[in-house]
Amino acid sequence: MTLARADQVSRRYGDVLALDRVDLEVRAGELVGLLGPNGAGKSTLMNLLVGLRRPTSGRVELNGRDPRDPEARRQIGVTPQETGLPGTLRVGEVVDFVSAHYPDPVPRGELLDRFGLGDLTRRQTGGLSGGQRRRLAVALAFVGRPRLVLLDEPTTGLDVTARHTLWDAIRAFHDDGGTVLLSSHYLEEVEALARRVVVIGQGRVLADDTVDAVRGIVGVRRVSLVTDELPDLPGVVRAERIDGRLHLLTTDADELVRALVRSQVAFTDLEVRPTSLEEAFLALTGGTDTALTGGTDTPAQASPAAADSGQPTAV
């Protein structure tokens, strides 16, 4: 069963084409990672899927309905990139307020314990750290026992321990049959969680497959070695030196190694391995370093006045 669908969806903000004929299906039981550099259109796509924006053209469905239909949104949970919490309310009060909107919410104590917030029930949200507020914002997406959860950069600002706590909660939800669409700049996060990866660049879908398949699409291998000099070698896509070790990305590792031996340059500790998802992602998106820095999709942050201009949505 398809829970969310975008069919040839485009979205413009003035002269900016944020999405260009994007196709996406999120089926029940999937955990999908959505990757892309800043401005790629990830947040715009999520906003369309939950009915916060309307497509300029194309078709969007949520649970088989128009996403702006309240009935379509009853069984989803959402954490946007930025969430405002009333600073004077206690954590438990915020959870109770959100829980009141659902017929069978997750009990407050169970929910907070799941996200490592059990000892903060009586703390005012204004006194929480940035990471604690972020965990609370993510936890609220799960209050109503949703079928589908959409998480936009959920672990921004979290330390390693808090990030792994959140990962465990997402895994548990998915293992129980829940469906997740996860947008993240943390590529190791997608590798750790997602079964399927959708890469977006310049408003288009560049790849939609498993993590391993995305790596294979670019056909790049990583050759690492220790050497004082680098000769002119064929097929080098990127080169960087880290802690005295040289790392080369190449489309033909065999030919590169043969050329390295023929060059008679002294080297040690040669290693050849497949690319990481990060390296595949950079190759697919043209090597944009901003893909790794976090931040927001600029078009998705346009002011309300520059947003929906009355174009009909095709649903």
pLDDT in tens, 56-76: 999 999 999 999 999 999 999
Q: Which residue in 178, 152, 171 sits closest to 75, CA to CA?
A: 178
CA atoms of 52 and 245, how far apart (whole Å): 47
CA atoms of 40 and 21, how far apart (whole Å): 13
Instruction: Please state, as a whole number, how many other Cβ atoms lie within 10 Å of the Cβ of residue 136.
Output: 23
pLDDT in tens, 240-275: 898 889 999 888 999 999 999 999 999 999 999 988
Strand partners for 79:
151
Find out whether 184 and 292 touch, Cβ atoms under 8 Å. Answer: no
pLDDT of residue 218 exceeding 50, the answer is yes
pLDDT reported for residue 285: 73
Q: Give 222's contacts (C-beta < 8 A, 6+ positions apart).
A: 247, 248, 249, 250, 272, 273, 274, 275, 276, 279
**What single-letter DSSP state applies at residue 15?**
T
pTM value is 0.78
pLDDT reported for residue 82: 86
CA atoms of 164 and 121, how far apart (whole Å): 21
Provide the pLDDT confidence category of residue 287 given band limits of 50, 70 and 90.
low
* CATH domain 2-210+293-306 topology: Rossmann fold (3.40.50)
pLDDT in tens, 110-135: 999 999 999 999 999 999 999 999 99
CA atoms of 180 and 265, how far apart (whole Å): 50
232 vs 28: which has the higher pLDDT = 28
pLDDT in tens, 152-195: 999 988 889 999 999 999 999 999 999 999 998 788 888 889 98
Reading the block at residue 229, the tokens are 């000099």
Per-domain boundaries in the chain:
2-210+293-306, 221-274
β 57-62/76-79 pair status: unpaired
